[in-house]
Each structure stands twice: as structure tokens, then as C-alpha cells.
Amino acid sequence: MDNGIFEIVRNIAEEQLMVSGEEIKPETRFINDLGADLLDTIEMTMVIEEKCGIKILDENLVNLATVRQIVDYVSRQLTVNKKIAQSFTAADFQI
């Protein structure tokens, strides 16, 4: 698990859900443990997307119940985006 992404997710959850950062561990469940509702999770998702520069698809959101699941998902998306960016060359952008 990426500790940098964990800190981002923890800070967002702490701010959005008004909970102590000490309550937020990798295995913490947003709804069951932190009392988040659907609107809370959507708002957190939007902030995570903005801060990390990724898109979390709605169909994937239902499988992201714990902090670790979100951190791992964000990490995978960032890796995919980096690989895609590296696959382009300057020639790909010539007009």
C-alpha cells in the first residue's frame, strides 16, 4: 500500500467526515466504521479524483469499501496513467 496515497485519502476522509485521523486505518470501512453515507462517499470520491488526477468509475466505487481498497485503486490508476503517458513519444504529438 502506498503511504503517500494513504495520507491523502486519510486527510480527505478526516475533513469530509469530520473524524479523527487516528480512527482511519487501512482496514477502516467508510460506511460501517466511519458513518459515511452515499453522499459522503461520492463527495470524497470527487475530492480524491481531483487531488490525484484520476477518475474513479461509478461501477468500481461499489467495490471500494475500505481505505486500503481506495488507496490500492488510486495507486493502480496512477500506475496505468504513467504507463500510458510513457508510451507516447514526441512524434505522436506532431501536427
Contacts for 24-32 with beta carbons within 8 Å, 24 or more apart? 24/67, 25/67, 26/1, 26/66, 26/67, 26/68, 26/71, 27/66, 27/67, 27/68, 28/66, 28/67, 29/65, 29/66, 30/65, 30/66, 30/67, 31/65, 32/65
Q: Is 33 a catalytic residue?
A: no
Per-residue pLDDT of the chain (95 residues; tens, 9 = 90+): 788 999 999 999 999 999 998 999 999 999 999 999 989 999 999 999 999 999 998 888 888 999 999 999 999 998 876 766 666 655 555 55
State the catalytic residue, choosing from 37, 40, 58, 72.
Answer: 37
Q: What is the pTM of this model?
A: 0.81
Q: Give dist(CA 34, CA 76) in Å, integer.
A: 24
